[in-house]
C-alpha cells in the first residue's frame, strides 16, 4: 500500500485513526473467556464495530506472543480478518543485525503479510534496511517516543543536535516516503513542529493520544502536511471503552467521537 492510497483512504473516511489491538486477556469482557479463541473473538467484534471509522489497525505483538502458540494463531487470524483496504501495522519493534532483520522482515511481510512493522534503529543502517527491501511494505522507525524513558537517551545532545534529531535525519536518507514512516509520540507535540520541518513529506505514526494524554489538536496543528501525513493511534481508550456484552458498541462510540474530531481537521 503506497502513501497515495493511504491518503485517499483518509479522505474517503474523513479519518486518520489507527486503532491499536493491544488485546489483554485480563482486560477483555469476562464472558469472552469461554470462547475457543477469546483474543480473536474480542478483536473480531472490535473490527466489525470500527472498520468504517479507521484507516489502520496496529497489532501489538507482545500481547499475542505472551500467550505462546495460541496467541500467534489469534494474531494471524486477526490479521486475516482485517479488510484488505485497511493499513496493518505489526507493532513488534524489531531491529537486529542484517541477516536477522531479514528473517524478521520475511516473517512479518511474507509469512504474515502485514503492511508494515515498527523498527528500532539503535543498531544502525544494516538493521533497518532489510525492512525497506520489500515492495509495498513499510518500516515505521522509532523517532521520538512518548514514554518517560525517552529522556534517558533521546534528548541527549552532541554538537548542538539531540540524538532523536540525528536519528530521524539519518534514517530518512535510507528510504523514501513510500516505505518509511516514523513513530513520534503525541505527548511530544512541542517537538513535532520541528520534526515536521526535518521530514516534511513522510507519514508519522502518532501514539499517545487519549489515555496517555496527548492532544489531537496539537498533533494536527504541528504535524499535518499537504498529504495529511498522520496516522494517530488510539488503543486502550477505544478497545476497553466497555467491559460488558455491549463492549463493541462502546468501542464504536469512542472511535466515532475521535473520527468526528479528525474530520474537522480535514475540512
**For residue 96, what are the contacts with CB-CB under 8 A and spacing of at least 6?**
104, 123, 127
The active-site residue out of 44, 70, 93, 162 is 93
**For residue 121, what are the contacts with CB-CB under 8 A and spacing of at least 6?**
95, 127, 128, 141, 142, 167, 171
Report how far residue 136's alpha carbon sits from residue 133's, in angstroms, rounded to the nearest whole number: 9
Catalytic residue status for 93: yes
- Look-up: residue for cell 467491559? 243
Per-residue exposure over 95-113, b if at least 16 CB sit within 10 Å of its own CB, e if not: bbeeeebbebbeebbeebe
Residues with a catalytic annotation lie at 93
Amino acid at each position: 500500500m503506497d502513501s497515495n492510497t493511504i491518503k485517499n483512504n483518509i479522505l474517503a473516511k474523513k479519518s486518520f485513526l489507527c486503532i491499536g489491538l493491544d488485546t489483554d486477556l485480563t482486560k477483555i469482557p469476562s464472558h469472552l473467556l469461554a470462547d475457543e479463541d477469546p483474543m480473536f473473538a474480542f478483536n473480531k467484534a472490535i473490527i466489525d464495530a470500527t472498520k468504517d471509522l479507521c484507516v489502520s489497525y496496529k497489532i501489538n505483538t507482545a500481547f499475542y506472543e505472551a500467550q505462546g502458540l495460541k496467541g500467534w494463531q489469534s494474531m494471524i487470524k486477526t490479521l486475516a480478518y482485517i479488510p484488505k483496504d485497511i493499513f496493518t501495522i505489526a507493532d513488534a519493534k524489531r531491529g537486529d543485525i542484517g541477516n536477522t532483520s531479514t528473517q524478521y522482515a520475511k516473517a512479518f511481510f511474507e509469512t504474515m503479510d502485514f503492511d508494515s512493522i515498527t523498527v528500532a534503529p539503535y543498531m544502525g543502517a544494516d538493521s533497518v534496511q532489510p525492512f525497506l527491501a520489500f515492495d509495498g511494505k513499510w518500516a515505521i522507525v522509532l523517532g521520538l517516543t512518548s514514554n518517560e524513558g525517552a529522556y534517558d537517551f533521546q534528548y541527549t545532545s552532541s554538537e548542538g543536535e539531540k540524538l532523536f534529531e540525528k536519528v530521524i535525519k539519518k534514517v530518512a536518507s535510507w528510504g523514501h516516503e513510500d516505505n518509511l514512516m516514523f513513530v513520534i509520540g503525541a505527548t511530544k507535540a512541542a517537538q513535532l513542529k520541528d520534526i515536521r520541518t526535518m521530514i516534511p513529506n513522510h507519514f508519522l505514526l502518532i501514539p499517545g493520544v487519549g489515555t496517555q494524554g496527548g492532544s489531537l489538536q496539537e498533533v494536527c496543528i504541528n504535524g499535518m502536511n499537504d498529504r495529511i501525513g498522520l496516522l494517530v493511534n488510539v488503543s486502550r481508550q477505544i478497545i476497553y471503552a466497555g467491559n460488558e456484552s455491549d463492549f463493541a458498541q462502546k468501542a464504536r462510540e469512542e472511535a466515532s467521537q475521535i473520527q468526528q474530531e479528525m474530520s474537522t481537521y480535514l475540512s
